[in-house]
Amino acid sequence: MKIFYSEEHRQHYPPFEIFDGGIRVPYYENPDRMDRILAALKGMAWAEFSEPEEFGLDPILAVHDEGYLNFLTSCWGEWLASDPEVAASPETHAFLPATFALRRKARPTSTTVRGLGGYYIMDLSACIVAGTYKASLTSANIALSAASSIVQGLSSAFALCRPPGHHAGKDYAGGYCFINNASVAANWLSQKGKTAILDIDYHAGNGTQDIFYERADVLTISIHGDPDFEYPHYIGFADETGADAGLGFHQNFPLPKGTDDADYLTALDEALNLIRGFAPEYLVLSFGADTFDGDPLGTFRVTRAGFAEIGKKISGLNLPVAIIMEGGYANEALGDNTRTLLENFK
């Protein structure tokens, strides 16, 4: 299996995030996550590591708003220029807005970086530092490289992306995500053949839903913690099934706290049947290991044996699949859990 990876992700390492209740905590989505996965995969005879190709901005602008991408490009530099205290010790700071736009009334008319930040950032975990934009571009290229390799004939490829992407919408960052890697890859693949996205991260793929919600050419499915109790709270409900041309081409499977292997696999079987009915030529799998029992940001009880069965069932679709890394924060188990899933696709 080809595994696309770059050390560029290390440039994105915010010194903190703001957690529930306003508590400042160390950044959960950190480079140690990649180190654990690399350590688990580098000893595998079937793992072939490759640097990503460069695809330019066109595939990204095909799914993301240009004004939003311009904000990601310029945010850090503008913030440094506007605040002497930050410029004096940038390594201890991360950009986060203090106000957030209400979409139904808001317009991105502010000329200040703080105002633009509140429009283009959804929450207090999408922290921007000096290397965020470059790391995010590389992460998107990693996903595109995996997509390209399955078009060229590989049965599967793994995009070891960081930052992750599935919470990034058309014009906003959120949940550690800045560019929606899976959506960029799926949109690119959709020009080559019919494509489906299956998101098995613990949290709802709100950004992916946002991007494809009115489209019928890409089927999108997300299995996740019910937003009645779980992030992102405002999207990911079962009755959200697409709109306009996309009506019927999106499906959410919100699951309760404590979901175990058996209940998760039941939902997965339903999702796989929907994919079979859609009959795509390509599959993009947004893989988050935060469904694992004991993940600090999840409430499910999926075991390592569960990951093996999940991988087995998805590979049973016999579709070329680009596997895109999303979340997973039980770092000590992350590498083994990721390897367990991937072994079914090699």
Distance CA 120, CA 108 (A): 8
- Which helix (H) or strand (E) segment holds residue 314: the answer is helix 304-315
**Burial bucket for residue 144 (CB in 10 Å: 0-12, 13-18, 19+):** buried
Phi/psi class of residue 218: alpha, beta or left (left: φ > 0; alpha: ψ in -120 to 50)?
A: beta
DSSP string, 103-166: TTT--S---SHHHHHHHHB-STT--B-TTHHHHHHHHHHHHHHHHHHHHTT-SEEEE--SS--T
Cα distances (angstroms) measured from residue 5 to each of 50, 227, 295, 326: 6, 31, 24, 14
Query: What distance in Å separates the CA atoms of residue 319 and residue 276, rounded to the nearest whole number?
Result: 10
Cite the active site residues: 167
**221 three-state secondary structure:** strand
Torsion sign across C-alpha atoms 23, 294, 11, 120 = negative
How far apart (Å, rounded) are the C-alpha atoms in residues 284 and 54? 19
Q: Which region, left, alpha or beta, applies to residue 21 given φ > 0 means left and ψ of -120 to 50 means alpha?
A: left
The CA distance from 162 to 142, in Å, is 9
CB 306 within 8 A of CB 264: yes
How far is C-alpha 113 from the chain's CA centre? 25
Phi-psi domain of 175 (left: phi exceeds 0; alpha: psi -120 through 50; beta: other): left
Are 76 and 130 within 8 A, CB to CB?
A: yes
